[in-house]
Amino acid sequence: MSPQTGDPTPQPVDRARLARARWWSAENELYPLVVRDPDLYQAVLERVRDVLAELRATCTRVEDLLDEGCDVLGIVRRTARDDRTPLDHLDPRLIADAARAMRYRELVTQQAPAGESRPTGTEG
């Protein structure tokens, strides 16, 4: 909420922080699959990589990842293929957000001046 206007619309910094928290949460939910179900983990990684490839082509700035017009769920659906391990029971938003988290780290790393710390995925 904006303190000056009482407007409940999140401020840009808050919106970005909330988005990053959601993206990191998706990674934290998906990646432990390596222990529980390695085949499913591999299928998830392949889908995240496919989505990430499209994000590299379409999202050249951090702001692009936050843009409501960035249809990452559409990308998840378009990159679906006849996997040996179907991902139908997974929420596609998890794959979308995990790919966004990876692209975010790439963009921040590319934009950071030499010598600055790189994103770890845990900052808020």
Residue 4 lies in a domain: no
Residue 29 lies in a domain: yes
Q: Please say if the pLDDT value at position 38 is more than 90.
A: no
Helix axes 38-58, 12-30, angle to 10 degrees: 150
DSSP 8-class letter at 80: -
Mean of all residue pLDDT scores within the chain: 80
Q: How many domains does the chain have?
A: 1
**According to the model, what pLDDT value does residue 104 have?**
94
Helix axes 12-30, 92-111, angle to 10 degrees: 120
**According to the model, what pLDDT value does residue 49 have?**
94
Residue 49 lies in a domain: yes
Give the range of the structural domain holding residue 64, as residue numbers without chain letter.
12-111
**According to the model, what pLDDT value does residue 35 have?**
83
Give pairs for 47-54: CB < 8 Å, separation 24+. 47/76, 47/79, 47/80, 47/83, 47/87, 47/95, 48/95, 48/98, 48/99, 48/102, 50/79, 51/75, 51/76, 51/79, 51/95, 51/96, 51/99, 52/99, 52/102, 52/103, 54/78, 54/79
Q: Please say if the pLDDT value at position 122 is more than 50.
A: no
Take residue 77 and report the two structure tokens written for it: 């659906």
Q: Please say if the pLDDT value at position 42 is more than 90.
A: no
Q: Which amino acid is at 14?
A: D
Residue 72 lies in a domain: yes
